[in-house]
Amino acid sequence: MNITFNNVSFKYIERKILDCASFSITDSYKVGVVGINGTGKSTILKLICGIEKPNSGEIIISGGCRINYLEQDPKFDPKLSLLDIIMKDSTTSNPILEYEANSILSKMGFYDSSITTANFSGGQLKRVALAKVLVTPCDFLILDEPTNHLDNELITWLEKYLIKFKKGIFMVTHDRYFLQRVCNKMLELDFGKTYLYEANYDKFLELKSERLEQEKQAQKRLKSILKSEAEWMSRGVEARRTKSKSRIEKFKELSKIEFNEHKEMELNSISTRLGKKLISLKNISKAYDGNVLFSNFSFDLNKDDIIGVVGDNGAGKTTLFKILMGEVIPDSGEVIKGETIKIGYFSQHLELIDPEIRVIDYIKDYKSNIETLDGTISASDLLERFLFDSNLQYSKVKMLSGGEKRRLQLVKVLISNPNMLLFDEPTNDLDIYTLELLEDYLLSFKGPIMVVSHDRYFLDKICNKLLCFENNSIKESLDSFSKYLETNIKLEATKEKVEYNRKRNRLPQAIKQELNSIELDLPLLEDKLKKLKEDIKNPKYDYVKLMDIQEEIDKLEKEYDTKMERYFILLEMKQNYEE
């Protein structure tokens, strides 16, 4: 199966996204799509899926090619059960078995497949959508930010799943560990052009650097020729009459060349005075509706702290930030804050930005003139430094990509000239280029930093300490985040489980029947596998027959592993009811 772009061009309003882009991928490729925010990474996925149509050129997809698409913000009929959502695309030729649907939902943290999505958060909807695309048979998985809203244990599981996946993958993600371990090809979008690299992420960085250097030298030569020809053209009409018309035509053609300059973005802010007294937490506790988030937590913040705040979704990480900012009062304990503390807060919620406001006004409403390390500059000049050109500045926020909105949030945080930073999931939707700049900025920042993130690469690079939310408490660790994951996270599907209904202390009939069914199926599958493994040793069978037997073994082993995994989950549920 192949997907081919042949001279495809696409514009969004007046914004050029693709300019005669051509590339081809097969279902043996695992492709990571990279590029700065706004270059069209999500758009290229939508073009493949037919959600958007190219302005020119053609997109050729092999006949019968099955494509599963994970969009950034999925929506579902709130009346449908989770099982109905997963089973919706099951067909006679490509069936989804119910035990497979239940198994993948369990893996995503949904243990009751009869519930609906009516009251689900955006993160929960994303996990349902991920379950659906993974279990539905396809030739290509098209994934837009698959690791967003997943906890670290689930990210690790998904990483292993996609490494073993035997069909094509085409995905956008900012997770650099994920790109490195899963992808064998990289597709870069740059100034409307596409560049396909036969490389993993680390090798791609080398090859990209070589490409940019070659382009820089080529542009330098062209500019030199253009300058020389311009001088010749300016010598006057009489001088030019003796020259060839072909040279004049050549100059006109050279003058039409658009030189794509890679603008550098620099993150900086003026540091304000930070006194000796920072923030001390004395035995603070917080609970919501009887659910204890943490209790008797004490902590003293140091000036050089760069702290990774980690833990499961819903554990209370954002609540801790709101306590530090004074927006939430702890149930008990004391928060002591120094008078010089000036917090810059980066929220994970994009909805805090009015989508109808213009980009320039979003900044001007806060400050028209901004103090920087280079002196006072206008809001417009500052936005230029953050790669918002004049066209983007006068566009409404709703016209920006998700990553550009995040970058705009970052601008507003930095112009407040904070001396302490609280970053809540800053890496979501940011492109890798901006992430690298942000990492360098944070490492050079003169003040304490606390950051909530699931990005392993990001946390490993910047943090010198961790605050780990575990079992309704907060523990301090000096390990790297990767080491913490290896040594402290238990091997279970997810911590964010749907609570079991234990009111009658009786296992629901549906779960009981499924458990009994699997207990009957497992020995039958074992017998079939044993017989097939004996058959494959038979010297009488030819190559074709042996290949058929091996294919059947692979199929049954996959079914056996899935049922066994579901079996242990059901046993755990049964034990919970019997406690």
Distance CA 343, CA 279 (A): 11
**239 is written with which tokens?**
């001088």
CA–CA gap between residue 119 and residue 82 (Å, rounded): 12
* Pairing status of strand 2-12 against strand 15-26: antiparallel
Confidence band for 568, pLDDT divided at 50, 70 and 90: confident
Tell me if 125 sits within 8 A of 74, measured CB to CB: yes
Beta bridge partners of 68: 141
- Reported as a pLDDT band with limits 50, 70 and 90, residue 501 is very low
Tokens of 129: 């959508």
**Token pair recorded at residue 137:** 């048979």
Amino acid at site 80: L
Given a contact cutoff of 8 angstroms between Cβ atoms, the answer to whether 47 and 59 are in contact is yes
Q: How many CB atoms lie within 10 A of CB 257?
A: 11
Average pLDDT over residues 296-311: 93
Alpha helices (H) along 415-542? 432-444, 456-462, 481-488, 509-535
Report pLDDT for 483.
87
Q: For residue 232, how many C-alpha atoms fall within 13 Å in the half-sphere facing its CB?
A: 18
Which tokens belong to 126? 């994303």
Using CA atoms, how far apart are residues 195 and 182, in angstroms rounded to an integer?
Answer: 19
Angle value at C-alpha 397, between 394 and 403, nearest 5 degrees: 115
Pair 552, 532: CB distance under 8 Å: yes
Q: Using one digit for the tens of pLDDT, what is the confidence trace for 67-85?
A: 999 998 899 999 999 999 9
- Name, of 121-125, 135-139, 426-430, 542-546, the range with top average pLDDT: 135-139
Which class for 310: exposed (0-12), middle (13-18), buried (19 or more C-beta within 10 A)?
Answer: buried
Q: What is the mean pLDDT of residues 313-319?
A: 85
Strand blocks (E) in 35-133: 56-61, 67-70
Q: What is the mean pLDDT of residues 154-182?
A: 91
Q: What is the pLDDT of residue 494?
A: 38
The C-alpha atoms of residue 57 and residue 193 are separated, in whole angstroms, by 13
Length of the chain as a residue count? 579
Alpha-carbon distance of 283 to 434, in angstroms, equals 38
In one letter, which amino acid is 469? Answer: F
Which has more confidence, 303 or 122?
303
The Cα–Cα gap between 281 and 106 comes to 38
* Structure-token match 């999925």, residue found: 74
pTM of the model: 0.69
Q: How far apart are CA 159 and CA 175, in angstroms?
A: 11
How do strand 56-61 and strand 30-34 relate by DSSP bridges?
A: unpaired
Q: Which ranges of 390-508 would DSSP assign to H, the alpha helix?
A: 390-393, 402-414, 432-444, 456-462, 481-488
Q: Which residue has the tokens 């597709």?
A: 187
- pLDDT given at position 351: 61
Q: Which residue has the tokens 């693709």?
A: 18
Answer whether residue 57 shows pLDDT above 60. yes
Contacts of residue 129, defined as CB under 8 A and 6 or more positions apart, other chains included, come to 70, 71, 74, 76
Residue appearing with tokens 């001279």: 7
Model pLDDT for residues 374-413, shown as the tens digit of each residue: 778 888 888 888 888 888 889 888 888 878 888 888 888 8
Contacts of 228 (CB under 8 A, 6+ apart): none
Helical spans, DSSP H, in 342-397: 359-364, 379-385, 390-393
**Tens digit of pLDDT for each residue in 132-158?**
999 999 999 999 999 887 877 788 889
For position 358, what pLDDT does the model report? 92
Q: What is the CA radius of gyration of the chain?
A: 28
pLDDT of residue 498: 38
- For the 279-488 domain, the top CATH level (class) is alpha beta
Tokens for 310, please give them: 């980690």
Amino acid at 370: I
Work out the angle at residue 481's Cα, subtended by the Cα atoms of residues 480 and 483, and round it to the nearest 5 degrees: 65
pLDDT (mean) for 552-571: 84
CA separation, residue 465 to residues 296, 313, 485 (Å): 20, 20, 14
Q: How far is it, in rounded angstroms, from Cα 571 to Cα 578?
A: 11
Statement: residue 508 has pLDDT above 80: no
Give the span between the Cα atoms of 174 and 178, in whole angstroms.
Answer: 8
**What mean pLDDT is predicted for residues 550-573?**
83
